[in-house]
Amino acid sequence: MRSGVVGLMPGHPREISAETASRLRLAGFTGVTVIVPDPLEAKREDYERGGQALRDGGITVAQANSRYEMLVHPDDARRALGIQGLQAACTCARWLGAETVYVRPGSLNPAGAWTPHPENASLRTLLRLVDSSRQVATAAEDVGIPLALEGASVSPLDTPERVRDVIDAVGSPSLGFNADPVNFVRSLDDLFNMTSLIHRMYDLLGARTVCAHAKDLTYQNTLPLSLAECLLGEGFCDQGAFLQRFEQSCPNGFVLIEHLPDDAIPAAKRNLDRAAANAGLAWRT
């Protein structure tokens, strides 16, 4: 497994420089996520130049993460924009030299892709997701870069089982899984037994895993129940089990620290390094 981060980056590929790559290497990373803010308006030279600057500095684009309309939107025209945006993101990923293209399933909640809605996991929503994903998978196959589909308890892909079923229904070898066990925590029982949740996730999806996001989760002292992300290493995620199973499933893939401000990333990296060492693992370069 290799070490990467979602962060320490400028907001657009055209702003990537040699200094960007140097900052990432000094922080101990060999891979990074590049945000694709404008897939339908992207300029090839911006993305090729940014990807080359990273490679010249010893950094791999582990993942291209694009902005696009909801893949499950009930309005066909809006959903088509999402499909077109993610298809265009596959082309941007090729220009960058990225190893994976990140896929969020979306939500029926207009507040955002990672928000709950009573109909998110309904059959009709899932059928729209399967249809959208099939169309995007064709573009991924054309560029030869796997898609990394992520689930979460608030999304249409609310369990590892649901992710497996959708990947099977799409039926494309280009559609893989972005492992993130924190996203599947639905209760205190899940939180306090995250090792079991991690093994269940990899048992179902290890063979489909192409990348991973590393973060952590804890509870807040409130009623009703409230869960919140925290600094990696200070919550309930069994980072050792998470890394061991990733190494078994995707030994050359990237584990990307995410959801932290840049100034908190060094502490998270130290904690993740410690978890890897305690599990008998070492980062590949």
Q: 18 pLDDT band (50/70/90 cuts)? A: very high
DSSP 89-157: HHHHHHHHT-S-EEE----SSTT-TT---TTTTSHHHHHHHHHHHHHHHHHHHHHT--EEE---TTSS-
**Amino acid identity of 242?**
F
User: What average pLDDT is seen over the chain?
Assistant: 98
Give the mean pLDDT of 84-91.
98
* CA separation for the pair 17, 52 (Å, rounded): 9
Alpha-carbon torsion angle 86, 91, 96, 97, nearest 10: 110
For residues 54 and 83, the answer to whether their CB atoms sit within 8 Å is no
| Paired strand residues for 60 | 31
For residues 115 and 109, the answer to whether their CB atoms sit within 8 Å is yes
Q: 195 pLDDT band (50/70/90 cuts)? A: very high
Give the single-character DSSP code of 247.
H
Alpha-carbon torsion angle 74, 114, 175, 187, nearest 10: -120
Give the mean pLDDT of 7-14.
97
Helices (H) and strands (E) in the chain, counts: 9, 10
Q: Does domain 2-278 have CATH number 3.40.80.10?
A: no
Could you give the percent of the chain with pLDDT greater than 90?
Answer: 100
Write out the H or E segment, with its range, that includes residue 168. helix 160-170
Q: 213 pLDDT band (50/70/90 cuts)? A: very high
Q: What is the pLDDT of residues 228-269, one digit of tens each?
A: 999 999 999 999 999 999 999 999 999 999 999 999 999 999
**Amino acid identity of 201?**
M
Two tokens at 182? 């924190």
